[in-house]
Amino acid sequence: MHALVQEGLVSTRQCDASGVPRGHRESLVRSGRLVRVQRAVYDVTPGLGVLAGGPLGAGHDGARRRAAWTGLLAAGPSAIAVGASALALLGVDGLPPVVRPDVAMPGGSRRRPRGSVVVRCFDAGMPVERVGSARVAAPAWAVAQAVCELDRRHAVAVLDSALLRGLVGCGLDDVDAVVRGRRGAARARPWLALADGRAQSPLETWARLECVDDGVPPDELQVPVRDGRGRVVARGDLGWWLRDGRLLVAEIDGAGVHGAPDALFADRTRQNALVAAGVDVLRFTARDLATHGVVSSAIRAHLTR
């Protein structure tokens, strides 16, 4: 079914093609089995919860994909997801919790916006790829479109994630070429130099940016930690070399990943390996990163101790 790959959403066009005409749709809306999201787009999850094996569009990732699908379905089958909407469908991390449904039409044509959907005049000749049945801007273009509109923290996190996933060139020259001349380019282009594809999560990106801003940038990312026989026993998220030659590692724990029992066991094993190798370890969470200066102050205090 269309809804299972569209975060629980279907268009009126798809309903008609599946034998659910307007009158039947209105009846389903009144009964609560169908919810009108906006003109031409319906949510079928009230009747799909069991079939889907769980809620569609759940969590921040699902909500962002759902926004992208809302734009594509509202604008019609020729629409192309662009900017943050395209990145959500491409699986890029680091986006804000809420993204706007952004689409463009082939050839740079424009239509009137529908509800929350923004229909852009973006880039005639823009390369287009497919993610399943969705048409999306090519990754370098989608990244360039997004970073010109995002704030610095989210823009650098998006760049890091796109690099990590191999969606853009390692030097970001392909992104820079699209950024040039765009509205917001003067603000966004310096952020490209801050990107590092070794960051494993947005939290690591934000911790690194905080430390860079506060004058204690890490010496290495994903720093290898070796035991007495020279074997790599772990990798630290962020690393600083201390004056005595030892290593300080900052571990950035995300609740979603590190809260699971298996992850907790793996984290304990990993931390034991770090300590056994003579490494100083500081651990931080998303809560620490919610207030600027918590991470960088702890790092600075340890470095100057």
Tens of pLDDT, residue by residue over 229-287, are 878 888 899 999 999 989 999 999 975 544 445 555 566 676 777 777 778 999 999 99
Question: Which of 149, 208, 154, 215 is CA-nearest to residue 183?
Answer: 149
Count the Cβ atoms, other than its own, within 10 Å of residue 189. Answer: 17
98: number of Cβ within 10 Å = 10
- The SS3 assignment for 18 reads coil
Whole-angstrom CA distances from 79 to 10, 72, 104, 130 are 15, 6, 6, 12
With vertex at residue 166, the alpha carbon angle to CA 163 and CA 172, rounded to the nearest 5 degrees, is 45
Q: pLDDT tens, 64-112?
A: 999 999 999 999 999 999 999 999 999 999 999 999 999 998 876 666 6
Which helix H or strand E contains 131, and what residues bound it? Answer: strand 128-131
Q: What is the pLDDT of residue 125?
A: 75
> Terminal CA-to-CA distance of the chain, rounded, Å?
61
Among 179, 159, 177, which Cα is nearest to 167's?
A: 159
Long-range contacts of 117-122 (CB under 8 A, 24+ apart): 117/38, 117/70, 117/71, 117/74, 117/75, 118/71, 119/75, 119/79, 120/82, 120/83, 122/82, 122/83
Q: Is the overall model pTM greater than 0.85, yes or no? A: yes
